[in-house]
Each structure stands twice: as structure tokens, then as C-alpha cells.
Amino acid sequence: MVKVTYIEHNGTAHEVEGQAGQTVMETAIKNAVPGIIAECGGACSCATCHVYVDDAWKEKTGSPSPMEEDMLDFAFDVRPTSRLSCQIRLKPELDGLVVRIPEHQN
């Protein structure tokens, strides 16, 4: 089990248990975390699963691939820690991951 905390724009925190191998997006949807839409279902095609990775986790989660960088062009208020959560796969090293959800996805 990999613990993930999603912090909404209004400050509400959702601490959920994710499974290694599943994406941060899938884990959010499965646990009804609001604010992550995932219109394309995880195909890196819509940029509506945008999150900000907490600074402490930036190195462990890694940087976006070129395909993900391209899709981030379609997100709003993109910051240096922006990622598309469908592209972050959970692993034991990410236990305790914290991500922040932007005010708007669409």
C-alpha cells in the first residue's frame, strides 16, 4: 500500500491508500477525490488530471516525459512542479506522496 495525500485548492486534504502499479490519477478516481477529472481516462490526452507535486517529492516522482510536457501545454496555471497524475505510477518509494490539486482543470 502506498499512502497518497491529495490537497484540494480550498485546503481540504484527502489521505488515501493507493496500490503500487496504479497511477496517482487512478487512485484519486477510485477514492472519489474531487478535482481530478481525467476526461481521457488516463491516455495522456486531455490534461484534466493536472496536479502539483509537493516540493519534497519532486525528485522521487521525476520529470514529465516529452509527451507529458506536450500535454501540459493544455493545462492551466502550470508550475515547475506540475505533472499529469495519470503519468505518475505509484511505487513503495512514493509512500507518503503529497500532491496539490489546481483550482481549475477545465
Partner 1 sequence: MGLFAVFELGLLDVKAHVIDILDKPGGQCAELYPEKPIYDIPGLPVVTGQELTGRLLEQIKPFEPVFHFGERVDALRRVEGGFEVETGDGSTFFAKVIIIAAGGGSFTPKRPPLAGIEAFEGKSVFYAVRKVDAFRGKSVVIAGGGDSALDWTLNLQPVAKSVTLIHRRDEFRAAPDSVNKMRALVSEGRLKFVLGQVTKLNGEQGELRSLMVRGPVNGRPEQEFEVEAERLLPFFGLTMKLGPIANWGLNLHENLIAVDTEKFETSEPGIFAIGDINWYPGKLKLILSGFHEAALMAQQAHRYVYPGKKVVFQYTTSSSSLQKKLGIR
Q: Which residues bind partner 1 (CB under 8 A)?
A: 39-40, 43, 45-48, 69-70, 72-74, 76-78, 103-104, 106
Secondary-structure percent of the chain, ordered helix, strand, coil, rounded to 5: 25, 25, 50
Q: Which is nearer to partner 1, 15 or 70 (CB)?
A: 70
Q: How far is the CB of 15 from partner 1 (least distance, A)?
A: 27
Question: In this structure, what are the phi and psi dihedrals at residue 15, rounded to the nearest 5 degrees?
Answer: -100, 120
Q: Closest separation between CB of residue 82 and partner 1, Å?
A: 9
Contacts of 6 (CB under 8 A, 6+ apart): 13, 14, 16, 28, 33, 35, 36, 51, 99, 100, 101
Cβ 46 to partner 1 shortest distance, Å = 7
Taking the complex as a whole, the smallest distance from the CB of residue 49 to partner 1 amounts, in Å, to 13
| Kind of pairing between the strands at 50-53 and 13-18 | unpaired
Pick 16 or 78: Cβ nearer partner 1: 78
| Closer of 59 and 73 to partner 1 (Cβ) | 73
Please identify, using beta-carbon distances, which residue of 15 and 39 lies nearer to partner 1.
39
Residue 16 host element (H or E): strand 13-18
